[in-house]
Every structure is written in C-alpha cells, then in structure tokens.
Copies of this chain bind each other. A is one copy, B any other.
C-alpha cells in the first residue's frame, strides 16, 4: 500500500479546484463586505471595464421616467477602480437591518455579483442579496434554533387535472410529535410561484425564529402555485428551463379559487392537521391577497384567519368567473360566520393603496370587523416579510 500512500491527494484536489475556480471565475475578492459599523463595500473585478455602477434597494430612490409614467426607482452609484483593476463602492452611511438586493451594471450589462453566491430570483430577474442583522431582520437569518423541514411535494389536482408542486414547511418537532397542527396557506403574487415565499419571503427562517421565541404557534405552512396553467415553478416542470414571464393568462379566471379545496384535502389527508376552520389560515401578497379574499369568501367554513397583504382587491373586466360575482352577498355570509381574524396590510405608497382604502370603507360600512396594519413604502418584499412576521403571531390563539 506504500506506493498508494505517495499520492498527494490533497494537493491534487487543490489543483483540480484551482482549475475549476480559474474556469468559473471564483475570485478571491470579497463582496459584499459588511463592516462592523454596517457600512457595506461592494467589489467587482473588471479590469477592462469603462464604467461600473451598482443599483439596489439600499440606494435612495430617484424619480425615473418610463413609458408607463414616472416612478420612484432605486438609484445607482458609481464604483471606482483601484490600482488592481477591482472596482469598489462603499455605502456612505451604515445600512439599517434588512435583507437587501442589488446588481452591478458593467458597461451597460446588468449582472449579479460574481463574488456573492447568494441570489434570489423574482420572476425573470435574479439579484444578489445580503442581510444586515439586528432588529426585525434577525428573523430573516438562520439562527441557532430548532429548524423545521421544508419539502417540495407534488399533489394531484382533480379539478385542474394536472399534477402540481407545493412547498411545505413543517415546524421543528412535527415528525416526532403525535399532535395535530394548524395550517397556514401562504400565497404568492403575480409572476411568482411555490418558490417565492420560501426564497424572498424567508418563510422558513421567520417561522423557525418566531416559534423558537414562543411568539408563533408551531404550524404547517403550505406555499402553493397560484398560476393554474403551471405544474410548478420555472425549471421544475416538463416545460424545462424556459424564461419566466409575468404574462400569466389564467391567474384571475376563478380556477385557482375553485381548485383550492384539492390542496386543502391533500394536506388534510397527508399531514396531521387540525381539520376544521379554527385550524386553518390563508393569506397572500398582491394577487395572492386577491386569491385569499376570494377563496375565503367562496368557502366561508374553511378559514378562520384571513390575511390580505398589499392585496389586489377587485378584478377588472378581464376577470370573468362566477367566483367574482355577488361579492357583497358572499362577504355577508362570510362575516356572519365570524372569522377570528381578517387582517389587511398595505404600504403607504403602494399603487393598490386606494383600492384597499375603498375596500376597507366597504367593510366599515357593513360593520365587518378587521384589523388594519399600515407600513411605509409600497409593493415590495420588504413589506411582505414584515406582514408575514406580524400576521403569524396572531394565528391559532
């Protein structure tokens, strides 16, 4: 065996690694570098570039003219090239606790940071991400607490006649327990899918942390796919690696609402759940808030807890389905059954603010009870993470 021992395995693996790193652009530079004072330095190795900028949600928004009107979009900042050909930018002020997203613009090409392996997809856009800890943002981090299980699992929708994918969070201790658990159904917005809440929403981290702190009851979270023509998230179905798009044609045609009991039945048949209204909650963001509104009123005995996060409220004339007819009559039935919580949240600058204001007036006029939670800013994931972490402590009490 001696001769075998002479193989310097470690060295050889290092060489193979080097080759790989050299190939794929693994760089020794660190970016982003979060300093002790929470200022952040970004770096990009681009020795021949003429201009490198950064854009991200930590930069002050600027009024930007677009074909659709003038919008407040995150600004850009210039990186400066150092003597080694590495471009740098440091935030002038410490950043507040939050999960932030950014991209570089290299001579006109918008690209992610090759030194940062952490990225999150939102529809067809991928951004680099980092977290400044502290305060609420500590809920978004993986901490040394018991961790739940996250599964991607397929169910048969007998209504839609396709097999579909779910992301399911079961809390720490679920498998070893003999108890039945309550279930929160958590719905994404237009362009999203069953990966949205677990990725940008940080659902597993928020739940692990709130449960460990005793602030939320252990619960099962079911993240559905609200695009009824899809089996699964992009890349996870037989459609292959296609380019995602917002152009979903069947997001408000009533089929999501009418096929929802397939999901509830699947979960009740496959998990130890509390199989009654008081053990079920539903909430969603934007289009998912719209779905939550309509599903909860179509099935007024199914959910005792309803959350509308920056919800699209009323469909326009393109949304044709019996589901959307007779709204007021159906709400009357729903509220007559006294749901334990009807929770509405929106940001001050959300483009759906007025629609939500009008919807609240309707509820007020009828004397229907709800809780209203308002934040700054608009139709962004920062708000949806806040809403999730405010909503779940109110459930199943």
Contact = CB atoms under 8 A, between A and B. Distances in A.
Contacts of A82: none
A165 B172 CA distance: 13
27 contacts: A4-B359, A9-B355, A13-B287, A18-B67, A19-B66, A20-B122, A24-B110, A24-B127, A25-B110, A26-B125, A45-B109, A46-B106, A46-B109, A49-B49, A49-B107, A106-B109, A106-B111, A110-B114, A111-B111, A116-B243, A117-B126, A117-B234, A117-B235, A118-B241, A130-B241, A141-B240, A147-B165
A292 interface: no
A14 interface: yes
A71 interface: yes
B7 A354 contact: yes
B144 A238 contact: yes
B48 A108 contact: yes
Given A109-B44, A141-B240, A312-B13, A175 B68 contact: no
A1 B25 CA distance: 57
A95 to B, nearest CB: 14
A397 interface: no
B151 A149 contact: yes
Contacts of A10: 316, 318
Interface string A15-40: 11111111111110010000000000
A50 B49 CA distance: 8
Given A9-B314, A46-B106, A238 B25 contact: no
A72 to B, nearest CB: 8
A112 B126 CA distance: 10
Contact of A243 (B115, B190, B241, B359): B115
B125 A351 contact: no
A328 B48 CA distance: 56
Nearest to A127: B24
A274 interface: no
A373 interface: no
A328 B16 CA distance: 28
A23 B122 CA distance: 12
B24 A122 contact: yes
Contacts of A241: 116, 118, 129-131
A114 B111 contact: yes
A17 B191 contact: yes
A47 interface: yes
Interface string A177-208: 00000000000001100000000000000000
